[in-house]
Structure 1
């Protein structure tokens, strides 16, 4: 097995470790990239480019930049609207549904 094939296998294995996306999109990043790296189109990509893509994907999977640039409480809970990010994350997770009246109140009063 050549080093190109090994790199492609490593990249596909790393992509499979990515979690499922919480929000449903038209196309999933994980699925599209697995299909891309599994196809025969990758024969034209140089080995150096594959190494760089493997390194960047490894950093993405390991949350390198999330851990390097940690957010403090001052950014996550601003004084003007301290529940803003909590409300967005609850909406993404589907924990709490707003009624039309509570949504209107949120838009008008910002609470």
Structure 2
């Protein structure tokens, strides 16, 4: 059974994770949703509705690209083995471990290390290819969905510069 302190710590972590921005590029799994689901299970908290909807979308996208049904394969492989109880990992997490997790996630959320270790302009705009970082960031901001035009693609191939 989950103690009250562990449950409260897990709730704090889940509330912090809900503040994290959604990923701009769609993946099969995102850090935010996987961690919210993980800490909800640890703390005995109900998984938020938006997280379950996002997970369903991820599963649909994943199933659209995969032809093999992995659930059936897992059932065949793991049905013969002894299954672990649903709460087997809950005993691992103590109050100290969860407070460390909370501090780490808070540092990531507040961009503590980004502010502490500032990136120099020489890295952002290298002399050999000054447009590289700018093009990379514009592509990421568009979510990786917009494709390069035909003319710019040929220009990139011929000149070798981004």
TM-score by length of 2: 0.62
Quote how far apart the aligned CAs of 1:43 are.
Answer: 2.5
Name the counterpart of 2:22.
20
- Residues 44-65 of structure 1: CA distance to partner in whole angstroms, max 9, x if unpaired? 1122211111111111101011
The equivalent position to 1:43 in structure 2, one of 90, 96, 100, is 90
The equivalent position to 2:135 in structure 1, one of 75, 84, 87, is 87
Quote how far apart the aligned CAs of 1:92 are.
Answer: 1.6
Name the counterpart of 2:70.
none
Q: How many residues align?
A: 111
RMSD: 1.9
Name the counterpart of 2:119.
71
Quote how far apart the aligned CAs of 1:97 are.
Answer: 4.3
Q: Which moved more, 1:8-17 or 1:70-79?
A: 70-79
Quote how far apart the aligned CAs of 1:103 are.
Answer: 1.4
Structure number with higher helix proportion = 1
Matched, 1:100 2:160: no
Q: Which moved more, 1:13-22 or 1:44-53?
A: 44-53
Quote how far apart the aligned CAs of 1:72 are.
Answer: 1.9
Q: Tell me the distance in 2 between the aligned counterparts of 1:7 and 1:58.
A: 13
Matched, 1:59 2:107: yes
Specify the SS of the correspondent of 2:23: coil
The unaligned stretches of length 5 or more in structure 1 are none
- Residues 4-51 of structure 1: CA distance to partner in whole angstroms, max 9, x if unpaired? 121111100000000011110001111111110001446311222111
TM-score by length of 1: 0.88
Q: Which runs of 4+ in 1 moved over 6 A?
A: none
Q: Tell me the distance in 2 between the aligned counterparts of 1:27 and 1:52.
A: 24
